[in-house]
Chains A and B, each alone.
Chain A
Amino acid sequence: MGVLPLEKDPDVPHADPPQYLFLSPVPGKPATLVYLLCVGLLAACDSGDVISLDDARGDSRAYNLWTPGPTDTCSPEIHNRYATVGPDGLRYPTWHPPTDPATGCTFGHEHGRDPRGSDLYQSVGAIPFGYANAQLEISDPLNPRNEDHVGHKIEWENDIRLDVDGGLDGLIELTCDVIAKLHQGTHSKDAFTNNVHELVYHIRCNDRTEMHITMLAAIGNPGEFLVSCNRSRVIAVGPATPRNSPRGGGHRAIPDRSCVEQHMLVPDGQNSDFKAALHETWETHNNIKTVEGRTLASFDPYFQVLLPSRFYDPALPDAVGRPINVCYEITATGARARGGECAQSTGSGSVPSVSFDDPRSTFNGVLRFIDVNGNRISNADGPEVWYTDAYGRNGRTTPFPGSIRQWISKIDNTGRQGHGPNIGRQRSYGGTGVHAPN
């Protein structure tokens, strides 16, 4: 059954209970609406804050983006049922499992961890994929940033313990719940040039550190990236989309052909180190700033993908090399990919010509984790609600066209800093039928 949580108002992120709209996913049967009403000592559940999918004022650009590939058995109609209504009243896609539980059909892609298990889900609700992109299009219609559907990835963890900096270690304990969603497409050339990607970040800690942020994160410089196996090398590829993409903190470290040759194509007697060859990391540093330029909050999670389905190879069309193709290469010196994921994907060489989008290829981006790192808030005077542009800048206390509502707790935690651990390393989001592009 497709659960379609309604959009939550983050005014009182702790208090409101969830309201769920359940739709029957079986084709041809009428939808059934069941409302779970507010209970207990809660703020009034204003039905005006809750909009059903049927009452949405339209579809976002991100809605209806996905179409099934040759091996995908779900229809777009089934996919579209996994949706939520954004703050602008439009329908947006949201998290769904790789396989529709009602019909058993496969989508061929996944969006990471089911957010309903997060302790934050009751207050933040379903994440609308592509909402920040839509707001940019309102504020800067000549420079849109449209991202595909499959790249949206969610990770979360409850009660993570932060490592406290310096002498406070052992004196204080910082524990947090965190949900992060990044559009991290590791199947295409997009990230070779484009540094702007939608990021949704929710965190709540025992020391009242709390923020709920939706933005377009500028990760490193537009038009270029660092080589993942040699961070001193910068590869300038070409102009970014949009052309006026801002520079951001952090960087995107992406594997290129040299990484594959160094770690994947090995002589006889050695096994390939696929993770050394292909480990990709997008290290973000994000700021929410007022219109005067004062930083209200900053956070810097690192998003890691262990086995992406592409690497940079300027000798190939679109500069996109495929690790699965390298599994079949033999160099002039006899070096080749040996063992591990190549053996697994090709049946130890018995299966010829497994393509990059074949579900049998393990180079599909399903192994991921996030380093939570630091979270700094300097908002002691408040308010908690700010409206920023899509890049998290120009923050003011009243909305404006194309603005995104952010929530930042009214504290200053800069005197105590902790660094979050990595989350998700022990999980694989592979499922039946999952394949690149993913």
Chain B
Amino acid sequence: MRPARIAFIVLLMLVGVPAFVRAQSRGGEFWMSGGVGGGWTRVSCAICTPARTLGPTAHVRVGASLRPGMLLGAEANGWTRNRDEGGRAWSGSIGAVAFLYPKPEGPFFVKAGVGYMTYRADEGVNTGNVGVQLGAGYEFRVGGSLYLTNYANLHASSFGSLRADGAVAVDDVSLSMLQIGVGITRR
């Protein structure tokens, strides 16, 4: 997916989602979050190596509350590490997310989302496709409107193609990324 299209989707979510939310009754409170952690990324296919490679991850999120206990927003995640074969690999996702707090004032939440996942490595290797994510977390209020957020997310996409130097190397490629981390949320 071209960078311009990705930027358009992000802009749409940054503007459109809060606007939609504020249009609803009893919602519209702005929130934002950022955090770091660790995780792995795996490229899967019929001839792919089974390795899950660990590396640092990060996320940023913005959005608005739909109602107490439910948040909508846009999120970007990233992962990277040095490859044993040389060079560096990156993966990431960008998309829309929804948070549900079973008890609106409680610390526990679950999360779901949809977006675009991508993987890149040096020497022109890349894959990407639309994917989904599921996650959960636990928050502690640390003062005022700030929360310390612990989370775990799993992102997955399928039916992509692994490309090398512009040519399709392998079809039917799946991409998965697991994140475990901590962040600061303002809401």
* Chain A residues within CB distance 8 Å of chain B: 166-174, 206-207, 414-416
Contacts and interface: CB of A to CB of B under 8 A. Distances in A.
A414 B169 CA distance: 7
Interface stretch (B47-55, B60-68, B143-151): B47-55
B124 A167 contact: yes
A415 B48 contact: no
Interface of B: 43, 45-49, 51, 83-85, 87, 121-125, 162-165, 167-170
B123 A173 contact: no
B123 A171 contact: no
Given A167-B125, A206-B46, 7 more contacts: A166-B123, A166-B125, A167-B85, A170-B51, A171-B121, A173-B49, A415-B170
A172 B47 contact: yes
Contact of B163 (A169, A174, A206, A415): A415
Given A416-B164, A416-B169, A171 B48 contact: yes
B48 A172 contact: yes
Nearest to A416: B169
Nearest to B87: A167
A261 B143 CA distance: 87
Contacts of A414: 167
B53 to A, nearest CB: 9
Contacts of B121: 167, 171
Contact of B47 (A167, A206, A415): A206
A262 to B, nearest CB: 38
19 contacts: A166-B123, A166-B125, A167-B85, A167-B164, A168-B162, A169-B85, A170-B49, A170-B51, A170-B83, A171-B43, A171-B121, A172-B162, A172-B169, A173-B49, A206-B46, A206-B47, A414-B167, A415-B163, A415-B164
Contacts of A206: 46-47
Chain B CB count within 10 A is highest, among A168, A170, A171, A206, for: A171
Contact of B164 (A168, A170, A173, A174): A168
Nearest to B165: A166
B84 A170 contact: yes
A173 B50 CA distance: 10
B54 to A, nearest CB: 14
Contacts of B170: 172, 207, 415-416
Contacts of A173: 47-49
A258 to B, nearest CB: 41
A167 B167 contact: no
Contacts of A168: 125, 162, 164, 169
A166 B83 CA distance: 12
B78 to A, nearest CB: 19
Contacts of A415: 163-164, 167-170
Secondary structure type dominating chain A contacts: loop
Contacts of A174: 47
A395 B43 CA distance: 38
Contacts of B45: 172
A169 B121 CA distance: 10
A206 B45 CA distance: 12
Contact of B122 (A167, A207, A416): A167
Nearest to A414: B167
B43 to A, nearest CB: 6
B46 A207 contact: yes
A278 to B, nearest CB: 37
Chain A CB count within 10 A is highest, among B47, B48, B165, B167, for: B47
A155 B164 CA distance: 32
- Across the A-B interface, give the 4 residue pairs with the lowest CB-CB distance, nearest first: A167-B123, A167-B125, A415-B167, A416-B169
A311 to B, nearest CB: 42
A170 to B, nearest CB: 4
A419 to B, nearest CB: 15
A168 B86 CA distance: 11
Contacts of B48: 171-173
Nearest to B125: A167
Given A167-B125, A171-B125, A207 B163 contact: no
Chain A CB count within 10 A is highest, among B46, B164, B165, B168, for: B164
A171 B167 contact: no
Nearest to A172: B47
A166 B86 CA distance: 10
Nearest to A207: B47
A397 B67 CA distance: 67
A416 B84 CA distance: 19
A422 to B, nearest CB: 21
A146 to B, nearest CB: 43
Nearest to B53: A170
Contacts of B165: 166
A166 B162 CA distance: 13
A168 B163 CA distance: 9
